Amino acid sequence: DAGITQSPRYKITETGRQVTLMCHQTWSHSYMFWYRQDLGHGLRLIYYSAAADITDKGEVPDGYVVSRSKTENFPLTLESATRSQTSVYFCASTGGDSPFFGQGTRLTVV
Amino acid sequence: AQSVTQPDIHITVSEGASLELRCNYSYGATPYLFWYVQSPGQGLQLLLKYFSGDTLVQGIKGFEAEFKRSQSSFNLRKPSVHWSDAAEYFCAALRKTSYDKVIFGPGTSLSVIP
């Protein structure tokens, strides 16, 4: 189906482990984004990408790594998960029109 | 610095009453403007958008928004609220010259009294 999908939807991991959140879009949108949503902070931009192999930091990039080898995929990796990274993560994409969002990944770091 | 503000953190209205959610932006030039709705445990759904032209834009679910350049505002309205409208509402802006990122307001939580 066309759209933007995130996987997994739910994840529990232990402190110090590496975890990767996946994001896939079928529109060939140039721009893709990763946000985290936390109570009291709203949506905060972690990283964004203007095209394949072009990425840049957002507001809260520390502790995260991204890559974009293909236009349709934009994985987000937590290199060594910390409890402060417990959050809901949203991926989004836009081709110059309205940004479209995935359903989110709820990550719990214990 | 570019910013989007939503002055109301939480609003409660009675079912059937009218609704207005406020949004103000601070940008060098008029950005693209959006309203999104997020139901509990769900992703963000686009309600409507303003790019240019008619300053009153219609969206889904009976929502509309009015762009006012003089006030740097993009307020969301609905003439009659339904209980299912209870959700979090986000105003957002995107710079026209470079689609580098979307800036979100902090959100307004809407409660609807039956």
Q: Is B39 on the interface with A (CB under 8 A)?
A: no
> Where is pLDDT greater, at A45 or A85?
A85
Q: Which residue has the tokens 């937590």?
A: A78
Distance CA(B42)–CA(B27), nearest Å, equals 29
Closest CA–CA distance from residue A17 to any residue of chain B (Å): 25
pLDDT digits (tens, 9 = 90+) for A45-61: 999 999 999 999 998 99
| pLDDT at residue A39 in the model | 84
pLDDT digits (tens, 9 = 90+) for B18-53: 999 999 999 878 889 999 999 988 889 999 999 988
Summarize chain A as % helix, strand, coil (round to 5). Answer: 5, 55, 45
Q: Predicted confidence band at A97 (pLDDT cuts at 50, 70, 90)?
A: confident
| pLDDT at residue B40 in the model | 85
What's the number of CA atoms in the CB half-sphere (13 Å) around residue A61?
12
Q: Do B100 and A56 touch (CB under 8 A)?
A: yes
Q: Is B36 on the interface with A (CB under 8 A)?
A: yes
Q: Is B113 on the interface with A (CB under 8 A)?
A: no
| pLDDT at residue A83 in the model | 97
pLDDT digits (tens, 9 = 90+) for B58-105: 999 999 999 999 999 999 999 999 999 999 999 999 887 665 678 899
Q: Which residues contact A47 (CB under 8 A, 6 or more apart)?
A: A33, A34, A55, A56, A57, A58, A61, A64, A66, A76
